[in-house]
């Protein structure tokens, strides 16, 4: 547990072990950039833990100085082991990467990717080590200064506490604050842009059109995309072989109203204006942070009801989903609750025989927002005629409760809750028939993938092995995947950044199962499984 070339031996050994462990199987195929980041971060973490462990031992035996250097032979022997171990782990990494890429239909890594991983890992490791050494140097300086007034151990403790407090203050009060301001500014500018293929609507049945309560410019980039897309009445009529009506789409962007409750009220009034409450179905959609909605989710219902549907949604942030997940969860919750309550109030004011069916939906952080108006699965089915939540997050309270209380024998990645009487959890369309038991008229579906890091990421991964790795593995999760303290958390965190860069049916990419789920939730009149199969090729995610 000694030093050489400025490094402590125990730290170097543990760093190398953590670097090897970072190459073990994870949820998704990983390219050189993210594997390099994970390996470098894992090595830096391992070094810190090794040094800390050595310090704890010295502290317990009251040793003030580090142990002497192990000598050149020991370092040379370690170097040989490190080279052999790294080659062996590189081979294993290549094997499991090829296996998971074959499962998901992704191209294999090329030879030049492997040295790229090593270079990126070294850069990340050196950068993090520099930060850590600067942090440690500040503690030592404060400790030395404090010894003038305090006993040595008390001085070191006080110095460490002061540096930790300063670090927390800088991270939370300065770095995060200014970073979020900069990101908000950047994404606010992007929110003002319009996609090249999106044209202002001329329909009075859509927000931003003639007679609309909100302007086209106020809808935001994703809102304008949502309003300007979708199947036309001609396409609907051609598919269903009968005359169609134009679907109603309502969207309130961030610039439509300052307050989330005012925005929800504005969206509900717009729904009334367009005649949405007279349609067969009103779909209340919760977006991701920037206002994005999976096109396949809304297009599917519009085809199933031949346009006799109104969809209402609203934006609550400028930030993309992954940033909103970290910074805007409270906004998402308030938006989901406010929108449902505003629309539900108007529907309940109608005579029973004139009320449309009401369904809720959301994907990713949108699924978290969509749950906000409900506390349990029974409350969803009591207040709505159906719900489709896609790619839930670990923050989803209703999803967490149902998963934690799943029926015995069903795995965490695909649970069965109360014999599937009200809710079904699916990864593929075939799972809708699981279990073979009666299903109520008001139905809830959670569409989730075993390989989706957005769903399975949690801070608990740092020190707790999750059930999805204890139980029988999901269909696209390798049997060789293992939970490793700290390392698995880093791996899944890195997987989140590439969660949609995989084919449909894996990771956080959802498309073809969506119409099958809606068909079972809504059971549209005259709709058949053959029509669902014919619809899938017409759908697109965005």
- Tell whether 410 is covered by a domain: yes
- Tell whether 493 is covered by a domain: no
pLDDT of 155: 56
- Tell whether 470 is covered by a domain: no
Do 129 and 222 fall within a single domain? no
Q: Which helix (H) or strand (E) holds 198?
A: none
31-73 residue pLDDT tens: 898 899 989 999 999 988 888 787 777 767 766 666 666 778 8
Q: Residues of the chain with pLDDT > 90: what percent?
A: 64
Categorise residue 464: left if φ over 0, alpha if ψ from -120 to 50, beta otherwise.
beta
Do 115 and 206 fall within a single domain? no
Q: Answer whether residue 356 shows pLDDT above 90.
A: yes
Do 160 and 204 fall within a single domain? no
Do 283 and 203 fall within a single domain? yes
453-493 residue pLDDT tens: 999 999 999 999 999 999 999 999 999 999 999 889 988 98
- Tell whether 491 is covered by a domain: no
- Residues 271 and 358: beta-carbon distance below 8 Å: no
Do 299 and 440 fall within a single domain? yes
* Domain around 101: 3-188
Q: How far apart are CA 178 and CA 172, in angstroms?
A: 10
- 3-class DSSP state for residue 309? strand
Single residue among 155, 188, 221 that ends a domain in this structure: 188
Q: How far apart are CA 486 and CA 15, in angstroms?
A: 12
Do 224 and 342 fall within a single domain? yes
pLDDT of 30: 86
Average pLDDT over every residue of 496-506 = 91
- Tell whether 161 is covered by a domain: yes
Q: How far apart are CA 391 and CA 104, in angstroms?
A: 18
Q: Answer whether residue 193 shows pLDDT above 80.
A: no
pLDDT of 324: 63
Give CA torsion, residues 29, 30, 31, 33, to 10 deg: 170
pLDDT of 1: 42
Q: Looking at the 3D structure of the chain, how many domains does it have?
A: 2
Do 294 and 214 fall within a single domain? yes
89-144 residue pLDDT tens: 989 999 999 999 999 999 998 888 889 999 999 999 999 888 877 766 666 666 66
Do 421 and 520 fall within a single domain? yes
Q: How far apart are CA 328 and CA 322, in angstroms?
A: 10
Q: Answer whether residue 168 shows pLDDT above 60.
A: no
The phi, psi pair for 324, rounded to 5°, reads: -60, -35
Single residue among 130, 158, 188 that ends a domain in this structure: 188
Do 207 and 295 fall within a single domain? yes
Do 37 and 90 fall within a single domain? yes
- Tell whether 466 is covered by a domain: no
- Tell whether 39 is covered by a domain: yes
Do 348 and 424 fall within a single domain? yes
- Tell whether 426 is covered by a domain: yes
Single residue among 167, 188, 209 that ends a domain in this structure: 188
Q: Enter the DSSP assignment of 24.
A: S
Do 234 and 263 fall within a single domain? yes
């Amino acid at each position: 547990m000694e030093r050489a070339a400025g490094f402590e031996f125990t730290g170097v050994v543990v760093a190398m072990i953590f670097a090897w462990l970072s190459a073990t199987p994870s949820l998704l195929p990983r390219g050189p950039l993210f594997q390099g980041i994970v390996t470098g971060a894992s090595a830096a973490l391992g070094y810190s833990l090794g040094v800390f462990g050595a310090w704890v031992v010295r502290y317990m035996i009251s040793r003030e100085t580090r142990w002497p250097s192990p000598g050149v032979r020991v370092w040379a022997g370690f170097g040989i082991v490190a080279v052999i171990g790294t080659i062996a782990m590189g081979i294993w990494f290549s094997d499991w990467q090829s296996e998971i890429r074959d499962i998901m239909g992704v191209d294999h890594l090329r030879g030049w990717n492997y040295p790229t991983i090593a270079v990126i890992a070294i850069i990340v490791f050196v950068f993090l080590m520099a930060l850590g050494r600067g942090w440690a140097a500040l503690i030592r300086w404060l400790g030395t200064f404090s010894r003038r007034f305090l006993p040595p151990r008390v001085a070191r403790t006080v110095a460490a506490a002061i540096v930790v407090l300063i670090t927390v203050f800088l991270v939370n009060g300065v770095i995060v604050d200014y970073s979020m301001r900069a990101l908000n500014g950047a994404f606010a500018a992007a929110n003002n842009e319009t996609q090249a293929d999106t044209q202002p609507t001329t329909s009075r049945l859509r927000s931003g059109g003639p007679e609309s309560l909100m302007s086209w410019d106020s809808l935001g980039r994703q809102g304008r995309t949502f309003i300007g897309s979708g199947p036309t009445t001609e396409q609907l009529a051609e598919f269903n072989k009968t005359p169609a009506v134009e679907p109603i789409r309502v969207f309130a962007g961030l610039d439509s109203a300052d307050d989330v409750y005012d925005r929800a009220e504005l969206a509900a009034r717009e729904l009334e204006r367009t005649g949405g409450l007279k349609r067969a179905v009103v779909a209340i959609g919760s977006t991701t942070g920037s206002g994005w909605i999976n096109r396949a989710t809304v297009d599917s219902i519009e085809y199933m009801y031949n346009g006799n549907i109104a969809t209402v949604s609203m934006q609550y942030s400028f930030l993309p989903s992954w940033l909103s997940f970290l910074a805007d969860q409270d906004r998402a919750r308030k938006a989901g609750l406010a929108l449902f309550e505003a629309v539900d109030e108007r529907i309940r004011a109608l005579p029973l025989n004139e009320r449309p069916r009401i369904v809720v939906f959301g994907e990713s952080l949108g699924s978290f927002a969509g749950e906000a108006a409900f506390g349990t699965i029974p409350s969803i089915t009591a207040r709505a005629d159906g719900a489709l939540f896609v790619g839930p997050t670990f923050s989803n309270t209703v999803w967490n409760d149902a998963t934690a209380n799943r029926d015995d024998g069903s795995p965490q990645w695909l649970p069965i809750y109360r014999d599937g009487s009200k809710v079904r959890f699916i990864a593929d369309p075939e799972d809708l028939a699981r279990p073979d038991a009666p299903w109520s008229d008001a139905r809830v579906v959670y569409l989730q993938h075993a390989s989706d890091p957005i769903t399975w990421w949690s801070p608990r991964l740092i020190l707790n092995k999750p059930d999805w790795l204890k139980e029988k593995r999901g269909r696209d999760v390798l049997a060789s995947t293992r939970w490793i303290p700290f390392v698995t958390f880093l791996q899944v965190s890195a997987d989140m950044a590439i969660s949609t860069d995989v084919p449909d049916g894996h990771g956080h990419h959802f498309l073809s199962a969506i119409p099958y789920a809606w068909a079972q939730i809504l059971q549209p009149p005259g709709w058949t499984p053959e029509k669902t199969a014919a619809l899938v090729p017409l759908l697109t995610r965005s």
